[in-house]
Amino acid sequence: MNVLMERHDRVVLIKLNRPEAKNALSSAMMKELIGHLAAVDQDLGVGCVVITGTREFFAAGADIKEMSGKSYLDMLNEDYFAGWEGFTRLRTPTIAAVTGYAYGGGCELAMMCDMIFAADTATFAQPEIKLGVIPGMGATQRLTGLIGKAKTMDLVLTGRPMTAQEAEQAGLVSRVYPAANLLDEVLAVAAQIASFSRTATRAARQAVEQSLEVGLHEGVRQERRLFHGLFATPDQQEGMQAFLRKRQPMFNQR
């Protein structure tokens, strides 16, 4: 099994599991991961997904051994990496918990998640230039959106690693924790997110995501429509009534 899945109440923890290849993201691993996540996305009992690697590495990139012998036509005909779009169609909130290397596709997978929480030992890099290629799973687009052109060019053109501290300052990483505490901290945040209205968390991430796709006026208009739509849900009634009655809300998670 290339990925391991654990259930922690309303949170699913996915562990990348190819230690012999530093969790390099092979096509088989991608299919397995996205297959699991597509099922998880339909599960009303799941409110957040956490993706992690091992203590030393999150993932060392796309699988260079698998790619190295391919021709241009192989890549074109297979539309290599297009399967990762399945990951970005997920509606459940996702958090990447990164310890150790997140290189190449590893960093790009982390960026497909809604947030990256990193251990103080984590390092991030887009080293594809050293292999005679460029990032192919979204880094030139997502990294630029997150940390801007200047730093993205620095990383993509030199392939240099960036520490967790630099990544947090630059805006790639949401929070940094000591390595020993990272997973517990991430699972606690994931449990908190999963305790909120499932409909509202999905709407929230959709609204934030669309800010990357549409202009300000259209984005604010779409946000308002999503906001209005939540007034058709029992969770809105419950959340506001609970506030007024000074009690904890009990969201029905449908």
Query: Which residues sit at the interface with ligand CO8, rule CB under 6 A?
Result: 21-22, 24, 60-65, 75, 80-81, 101, 103-105, 127-128, 131, 133, 135-136
- In this complex, which beta carbon is closest to ligand CO8, that of residue 63 or of residue 235? 63
162 phi and psi, to 5 degrees? -120, 135
SS3 52: strand
Q: Tokens 């290599």 — which residue?
A: 80
* Active-site option among 24, 60, 62, 170: 62
Sign of the four-CA dihedral 40, 30, 166, 187? positive
Find the shortest distance in angstroms from Cβ 35 to ligand CO8: 21
105 an active-site residue? yes
Closest CB 212 distance from ligand CO8, rounded Å: 21
Q: Which residue's CB is nearer to ligand CO8, number 21 or number 46?
A: 21
- Residue whose token pair is 């099922």: 39
CB nearer ligand CO8, residue 80 or residue 227: 80
Among the listed residues 108, 110, 164, 190, the single catalytic one is: 108
CB of residue 175 to ligand CO8, shortest distance in Å: 23
Contacts of 169 (CB under 8 A, 6+ apart): none
Choice among 21, 47, 128, 168 that is catalytic: 128
Tokens representing 50 are 């956490």
**Which residue of the set 61, 104, 105, 106 is catalytic?**
105
Sheet containing 94-98: give its strands across: 3-8, 11-16, 48-52, 94-98, 115-119, 175-177
**Least CB distance from residue 29 to ligand CO8, whole Å?**
11
Closer residue to ligand CO8 in complex, CB, 162/190: 162
How many C-beta neighbours within 10 Å does residue 172 have? 25
d(CA 89, CA 34): 10
Contact 51, 14 (CB under 8 A): yes
Q: What letter represents residue 254's amino acid?
A: R
Shortest CB 113 distance to ligand CO8, Å: 16
Nearer to ligand CO8, 103 or 196 (CB): 103
108 belongs to the catalytic site: yes
**Residue 15 contacts residue 49 (beta carbons within 8 Å):** no
Helix/strand/coil for 111: helix
Residue 128 falls in the annotated catalytic set = yes
Active site residues: 62, 105, 108, 128
